[in-house]
Amino acid sequence: PEVCTFCNESFDKAASYRRHMASHLSVELHQCVECHKLFNNNRQLNFHMKIH
Ligand SMILES: [Zn+2]
Ligand SMILES: [Zn+2]
């Protein structure tokens, strides 16, 4: 099975695994660690981080 590298949850179906990973990526890579504001992409997030 596919195992999530973020939370170690395992998935029998590759499709469920990809959907699960996408949920992590959208939340964890594009969320400000300081104020938890969400961004559509890393470029916006990096730009935002300059104000902290
Ligand atoms: Zn996970
Ligand atoms: Zn922020």
Question: Ligand 1 centre from 9 Cα, in Å?
Answer: 6
pTM of the model: 0.48
Span from the CA of 33 to the centroid of ligand 2 (angstroms): 7
- Residue type for 14, please? A
Domain extents for the chain?
2-49
Q: What is the pLDDT of residue 16?
A: 94
Instruction: From the options 3.30.450, 1.20.120, 3.30.160, 2.60.40, give the CATH code of 2-49.
Output: 3.30.160
Instruction: Write down the pLDDT at residue 17.
Output: 93
Q: For residue 8, what are the CA distances in angstroms to 11, 24, 33, 37, 40?
A: 10, 12, 22, 25, 25
Token pair 């300081």 is found at 34
Q: What is the pLDDT of residue 11?
A: 95
Q: How far is the CA of 34 from the centre of ligand 2 (A)?
A: 5
Ligand nearest to C-alpha 30: 2
Tens of pLDDT along 1-52?
A: 899 988 899 999 999 999 988 887 765 568 888 998 988 888 898 999 999 9
Residue 12 C-alpha to ligand 1 middle, in angstroms? 13
pLDDT at 23: 80
